[in-house]
């Protein structure tokens, strides 16, 4: 596996190569200071957002941007990201709004300057995709939050790609975990008969789930504990093997028995449902209720390193 210093150097070099291609106007659009307000301004709706969109980049710049994404995500994570952009085109066709559902309306934004000696970061974001990575010479890559969603979760007929699923494992493994519980475990896991309608830890609400709810893995038999951990690994596995391994070590060191699984809404696909997995160092949420339960946002946070908030406090203390 690649060590932390080499990973930081590769990412700094990759980001530096991208920034070197920017015109002054592109740089003004793409780059922001290490400002907590700017770094915390993330979202997953199809809005106008700060940053340099794909539509304003040439082919070389797009290739360098995806190279930066590929250095952070695993093959499956990067494939999901590209599939989400492709799904935006399909959504435009389904809705008859191709200009609004624009797969080139995804933006790059850099925070600070790429370095192996100082804190910096970047974001790539658009509808149903938000990737944030902060990089610190002492702690390495802090890649959180990672948001991925699919609208439609299953492409409906008569579209030529009817049946296409962009995040299938997230749904299938969630239901498998729920239905693998015994009656007592399922009763403890279910919080409500209705889905909340969206992920709870969205923009500005990242820290809103402080209390563990549902059933603890300590109360489950070995098969259900293993199924829950496989689902955690699915989300963490959106990262490169090196980054995912480090995150899973943190999760295991904090105690897997303390992880809680919670469910709300329908117990079968086709109607609104929601689940989350939560431990001392992470929150995972999946929700599917909009568009006749065919619209699924999902998010993974590490509250301990989210946006590098603790590092940003130190940066501002010393620099301002």
pLDDT of residue 319: 52
Structural tokens at position 315: 């940066």
Cross-strand bridge partners of residue 299 = 147, 285
pLDDT per residue as tens digits for the range 93-118:
999 999 999 999 999 999 999 999 99
Cross-strand bridge partners of residue 130 = 125, 147
pLDDT per residue as tens digits for the range 201-212:
999 999 999 999
The closest of 203, 205, 189 to 274, measured between CA atoms, is 189
**DSSP, residue by residue, 78-119:** HHHHHHHHHHHHHHHHHHT-TTTS-TT--EEEEES---SSS-
CB 112, CB 34: distance < 8 Å: yes
Structural tokens at position 87: 């799904």
3-class SS at 297?
strand
Integer-rounded Cα Rg, in Å, for the chain is: 20
Q: Are strands 215-216 and 260-265 parallel, antiparallel or unpaired?
A: antiparallel
pLDDT per residue as tens digits for the range 142-171:
999 999 999 999 999 999 999 999 999 999
pLDDT per residue as tens digits for the range 230-255:
999 999 999 999 999 999 999 999 99
Residues 6+ apart with CB under 8 A from 237: 74, 76, 77, 244
Tens of pLDDT along the chain (320 residues)? 567 889 999 999 999 999 999 999 999 999 999 999 999 999 999 988 999 999 999 999 999 999 999 999 999 999 999 999 999 999 999 999 999 999 999 999 999 999 999 999 999 999 999 999 999 999 999 999 999 999 999 999 999 999 999 999 999 999 999 999 999 999 999 999 999 999 999 999 999 999 999 999 999 999 999 999 999 999 999 999 999 999 999 999 999 999 999 999 999 999 999 999 999 999 999 999 999 999 999 999 998 777 776 666 554 444 54
Mean pLDDT of the chain: 94
């Amino acid at each position: 596996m690649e060590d932390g210093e080499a990973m930081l150097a590769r990412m700094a070099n990759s980001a530096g190569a991208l920034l070197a291609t920017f015109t002054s106007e592109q740089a003004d659009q793409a780059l922001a200071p290490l400002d907590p307000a700017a770094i915390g301004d993330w979202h997953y709706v199809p809005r106008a957002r700060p940053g340099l969109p794909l539509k304003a980049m040439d082919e070389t710049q797009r290739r360098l941007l995806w190279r930066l994404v590929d250095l952070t995500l695993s093959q499956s994570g990067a494939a999901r990201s590209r599939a989400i952009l492709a799904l935006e085109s399909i959504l435009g066709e389904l809705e008859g709004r191709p200009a609004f559902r624009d797969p080139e309306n995804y933006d790059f934004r850099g925070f600070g300057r790429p370095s192996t000696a100082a804190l910096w970061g970047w974001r790539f974001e658009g509808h149903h995709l938000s990737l944030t990575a902060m990089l610190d010479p002492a702690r390495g890559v802090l890649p959180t939050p990672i948001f991925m969603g699919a609208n439609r979760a299953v492409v409906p007929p008569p579209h030529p790609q009817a049946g296409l699923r962009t995040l299938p494992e997230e749904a299938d493994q969630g239901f498998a975990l729920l239905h693998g519980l015994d009656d007592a475990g399922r009763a403890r896991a279910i919080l409500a008969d209705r889905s909340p309608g969206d992920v709870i830890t969205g923009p500005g609400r990242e820290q809103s789930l402080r209390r563990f709810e549902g059933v603890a893995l300590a109360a489950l038999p070995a098969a259900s504990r293993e199924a829950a951990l496989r689902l955690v690994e699915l989300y963490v596995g959106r990262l490169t093997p090196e980054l995912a391994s480090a995150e899973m070590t943190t999760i295991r060191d904090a105690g897997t028995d303390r992880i809680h699984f919670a469910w709300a809404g329908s117990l079968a696909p086709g109607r609104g449902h929601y689940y989350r997995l939560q431990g001392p160092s992470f929150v995972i949420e999946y929700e599917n209720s909009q568009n006749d339960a065919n619209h699924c946002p999902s998010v993974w946070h590490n509250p301990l390193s989210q946006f590098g908030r603790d590092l940003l406090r130190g940066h501002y203390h010393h620099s301002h």
